[in-house]
Amino acid sequence: MDWRKEYSVGVDQFDIDHKTIFDMISRLEAASTNLSSPELQEELFETLMEYTDDHFEREEQFMREVGYAGLVEHHGLHAEVDEELHRLYRKFRDGDEGIARDVVEFLREWWFVHILQVDMAYNPTK
């Protein structure tokens, strides 16, 4: 999953965050494709979820600071994906090891749409 400059949301920290998240998704993808140990997959999954939460917090803090009008709606979308990630994580913990691939598919699609259509709306350089 490669980051491109068209994905820039005009805030360096968030571009770095998005790149980091893309890297984490790629690492999870590699682990699931190579049938790495469930322990490693779980660790990558957890790290990804924690980092995603930190990113959402940073973004929402920024929107609060600049008085961004779409904050509530944007927060709702973050909360929704967070809930879905926790649901998938529970399935993984219940022994559904193939779930890592579903997570990767789901997140790849979600992040492209979210960055290009939702995050882009707070871009201060546009």
> In the complex, what is the shortest distance from the CB of residue 42 to Fe ion, in angstroms, rounded to a whole number?
24
Identified binder of Fe ion from the candidate list 119, 121, 122, 124, rule CB under 5 A:
119
Comparison of 29 and 119: residue with beta carbon closer to Fe ion: 119
Q: How far is CA 100 from CA 13, 16, 57, 95, 96, in A?
A: 27, 24, 24, 11, 9
Retrieve residue 7's tokens: 């994905």
Comparison of 29 and 59: residue with beta carbon closer to Fe ion: 59
Q: Which among 63-71, 90-98, 104-112, 118-126 is the span making contact with Fe ion, rule CB under 5 A?
A: 118-126
> In the complex, what is the shortest distance from the CB of residue 13 to Fe ion, in angstroms, rounded to a whole number?
10
Positions 4 through 63 that interact with Fe ion (CB under 5 A): 59
Q: Which of 64, 31, 66 is nearest to 46 (CA)?
A: 31
Placement of tokens 């973004």 in the chain = 59
Q: Which among 45-53, 85-93, 94-102, 112-120 is the span making contact with Fe ion, rule CB under 5 A?
A: 112-120
Buried-exposed string 26-46: b where 16+ CB fall within 10 A, e elsewhere: ebbbebbeeebeeeebbebbe
Positions 58 through 97 that interact with Fe ion (CB under 5 A): 59
Exposed, middle or buried: residue 62 (CB in 10 Å: 0-12, 13-18, 19+)? Answer: middle
> In the complex, what is the shortest distance from the CB of residue 73 to Fe ion, in angstroms, rounded to a whole number?
11
* Contact footprint for Fe ion (CB under 5 A): 59, 119
